[in-house]
Structure 1
Amino acid sequence: MEVKKTRNTEKQNLVKDILSKTEHTMSAEDIMAAMPIKVNKTTIYRILDRFAAKGEVHFVTGKNGKAYYALCNGCGVSHDIHNHIHFECQECQEVTCLPNKLSIPNLEGFTINETQFLIIGVCNKCKA
């Protein structure tokens, strides 16, 4: 995938700032609600797609089919193969990147284009 060069815009900087200040992943709707200026959802998705193409964010699909985004931590452009776990709480619906690493098997005869690891349960905040 070719990565287009873009200039930093105020909206892009705001999206990065919002994602950098959260401990869990965020949906495009969550990011849009946190924006201090009016931005439509299509613009948010374009920014997130651009960041994903550059290896700056990754996403996981939640139980509800919605994409949840987080800033990448040293993923690089070929960041489709994420080997960490995401946890979705059934109570508060937060999706969190966990530090646990998984080994991605080399499957003979198959090409892996993307991985997503999602565990669903109840987080410690909601258990209390």
Structure 2
Amino acid sequence: MKTAEEKKTRNTKHQKAVLELLKNATKALTADEIREKLADNINKTTVYRMLDRFVEAGKIHFVTGQNGKSFYALCKSCKEEPPKHIHNHLHFQCEICGKVECLPETLKVPQLDNYTIRETQLLLIGTCKRCMNSTN
């Protein structure tokens, strides 16, 4: 049985690995993809807990894809901290290859009386350039 210190060190190592993986990713990743890419065999529940903490801390964001899965990406251009931290950029999912990516375009999130907006999910679905070129 691992001591609390060993677990803390291992969790910190895994957290750094997940953030590094997302930093270098060219697309948004599912929890399963993150788990598969990690060198250590890490429990799926642990991956979800880490991702939830990173989302709450404003380090990463997610969008729910067409298939209902969550896709996670590192916050690369965010300047505000939670709770003012709202991801208002567009995401795109290719319906052929399934790739989900953050797009640089942003939308103005309205301030609504009697509502507090905590999160936005803006997903465009279509065909990416690579898949369009491969079908021609």
Q: Answer yes or no: is the 8 Å Cα contact 1:56–1:76 preserved in 2.
A: no
Structure whose residues are more often helix by fraction: 2
Q: So what's the TM-score if we normalise by structure 2?
A: 0.83
CA RMSD in angstroms comes to 1.7
Which residue pairs with 2:109 in the alignment? 104
What pairs with 1:36-47 in structure 2 (closer than 5 Å)? 36-47=39-50
4+ residue runs over 6 A deviation: none
Q: So what's the TM-score if we normalise by structure 1?
A: 0.88
Which residue pairs with 2:5 in the alignment? none
Identity %: 45
Which residue pairs with 2:66 in the alignment? 63
Which of the residues 95, 98, 102 maps onto 1:93? 98
Q: Any idea what the Cα deviations from partners look like across 1:88-108, whole Å, max 9, x if unmatched? A: 000110110000010111223
| Worse-matched range after superposition: 107-116 or 24-33 | 107-116
What pairs with 1:1-128 in structure 2 (closer than 5 Å)? 9-73=12-76, 74=78, 75-78=80-83, 81-128=86-133
Q: What 5-or-longer segments of structure 1 have no aligned partner?
A: 1-5
SS at match of 2:39: coil
> What CA distance in whole angstroms lies between the structure 2 residues aligned with 1:45 and 1:80?
21
Say how many residue pairs are matched. Answer: 123
Q: What 5-or-longer segments of structure 2 have no aligned partner?
A: 1-7
Shift in Å at residue 80 of structure 1? 5.3
Larger Rg: 2
Q: Answer yes or no: is the 8 Å Cα contact 2:83–2:118 preserved in 1.
A: no
Q: Any idea what the Cα deviations from partners look like across 1:71-126, whole Å, max 9, x if unmatched? A: 11225222652110000000110110000010111223433232110000000011
> What CA distance in whole angstroms lies between the structure 2 residues aligned with 1:79 and 1:17?
25
SS at match of 1:76: coil
